[in-house]
Amino acid sequence: DVYKRQAKYTALNAEVGVGSLTVENMQFGALVSSVKVGNTCLKRTSADSVKLVAATGNLAWEDGSRVLKSLSMHTEVGNIQLAWATGDGFRLAYQIGTGKLKNQFEGAVTEQTGSQHASSKGTLTSGDESRAIELSASTGDISLTSFSTQE
């Protein structure tokens, strides 16, 4: 049995043609995922840097997942869901072809160009802005929510 629950792995590079990828309760230096058709979901996972790409499919970063340096999520057709810890500062750049931004992150400062429903881009910042986040969806919505790390 090679499963090491508390170990931090150097990297994960996953490519999926058709299907879904779920990563749960893992730690990585770098995490890269490319899915042609299917969904990608990370739960309770941490990494230094993350890049998630889907041609057709949804991308989700949720359930207490955390990143130390940078997070990039891009989908051609699909939605992006990002749950972010309230205490982790960030500078988020987003771009949406057709769709809308749903920002439920309390305290994030928003700068937006374009309409709320079609071809918009902008930035959101919170705290010390120490983590870089890039999100883009050619066709789809981007949802941003927050969670508390305090009990």
Query: Of 136, 145, 96, which Cα lies nearest the Cα of 116?
Result: 96
Binned at pLDDT 50, 70 and 90, residue 1 comes out as: very low
Q: Please tell me the distance from the alpha carbon of residue 125 to that of residue 97, in angstroms, as a whole number.
A: 21
Helix, coil or strand: residue 9: strand
Say if residues 106 and 148 touch (Cβ distance below 8 Å). Answer: no
Binned at pLDDT 50, 70 and 90, residue 3 comes out as: very low
Q: Please tell me the distance from the alpha carbon of residue 39 to that of residue 19, in angstroms, as a whole number.
A: 7
Q: Which residues pair with 125 in a beta bridge?
A: 91, 109
Residue 21 is encoded by which pair of tokens? 């990828």
pTM of the predicted protein model: 0.88
Residues in the chain: 151
Hey, what's the torsion of the CAs at 81, 85, 89, 92, to 10 degrees?
0
Say if residues 69 and 110 touch (Cβ distance below 8 Å). Answer: no
Binned at pLDDT 50, 70 and 90, residue 2 comes out as: very low
**What pLDDT sits at residue 86?**
86
Residue 107 is encoded by which pair of tokens? 């305290």
Give the torsion sign (CA, 131, 86, 48, 23): negative
Which strands form 109-113's sheet, in the order they lie side by side?
8-18, 27-37, 46-56, 66-77, 131-139, 90-98, 118-126, 109-113
**What pLDDT sits at residue 74?**
98
- Helical ranges in 106-146 per DSSP H: none
For residues 120-144, average pLDDT: 92
Binned at pLDDT 50, 70 and 90, residue 150 comes out as: low
